[in-house]
Amino acid sequence: MATLNINGKPYDVQVEPDTPLLWVIREQVGLTGTKYGCGVAQCGACSVHLNGEVRRSCSIPVSAVKAGDKIVTIEGLSPDSSHPVQRAWLEVDVPQCGYCQSGQIMAAAALLAKNPKPTDQDIDQAMTNICRCGTYVRIRAAVHMAAGNSRGRGSIIHMADAADAVPADSTNNA
Ligand code: FES
Ligand code: FES
């Protein structure tokens, strides 16, 4: 048996020690916002926070989680979807199919907790989660929005700013 602290609550679970944390979260605890994608720590769909660090829960055996460790899943990021990253995701309308997005949001939240004003390069280095729908441009824009950045090369926000910044007479140049 293991006792896990998930989203601030203790859970006693009866599982084999090598059971991946992802399956405990989904099947024993019933929090299904954390998704299974590849199962081999490549895609990030299963991302959760473990003591504030983003981790891929498909590849953490439950025996590696200590009693005092704090696990946060997408359900625990905020009580009412009011985390700045969640609000930015809604504002930018990031998801397409949505499958990867809880992992993306958890990765973005962990990034901003450490680096409140990330550059595009910071975002690209930290956000290695895979999105099969290719929402990467909107993800980057939403991270900038959550950070309160008005710019970010390649982001939707940056492109909108750039359009606004075109000199009024530039369209008259032949
Ligand atoms: S399911 Fe864990 S990284 Fe893909
Ligand atoms: S939104 Fe479909 S996989 Fe990312």
pLDDT value at residue 37: 98
Lookup: tokens for 102: 């809880």
pLDDT above 70 covers what percent of the chain?
A: 86
pLDDT value for 151: 53
Domain extent, residue 26, equals 2-77
Ligand 1 pocket residue status of 84, Cβ below 6 Å: no
Query: Same domain, yes or no, for 92 and 155?
Result: yes
Crossing angle of helices 101-114 and 84-92, rounded to 10°: 130
Mean pLDDT, the chain, rounded, equals: 89
Q: Whose CA is nearest to atom 4 of ligand 2?
A: 131
- Is residue 119, in this structure, part of any structural domain at all? yes
pLDDT at 10: 97
For the segment 85-107, the average pLDDT, to the nearest whole number, is 97
Domain match, 28 and 99 both: no
Domain total of the chain? 2
Residue 36 and residue 90 in one domain:
no
Question: How many residues would you count in the chain?
Answer: 174
CATH of the domain at 139: 1.10.150.120
Indicate if 93 and 117 belong to the same structural domain: yes
Higher pLDDT, 167 or 114: 114
Same domain? For 51 and 107 the reply is no
45/129 Cα distance (integer angstroms): 7
Is ligand 2 within 6 A of the CB of residue 98?
yes
Q: What is the pLDDT of residues 106-158, one digit of tens each?
A: 999 999 999 999 999 999 999 999 999 999 999 999 999 999 976 544 444 44
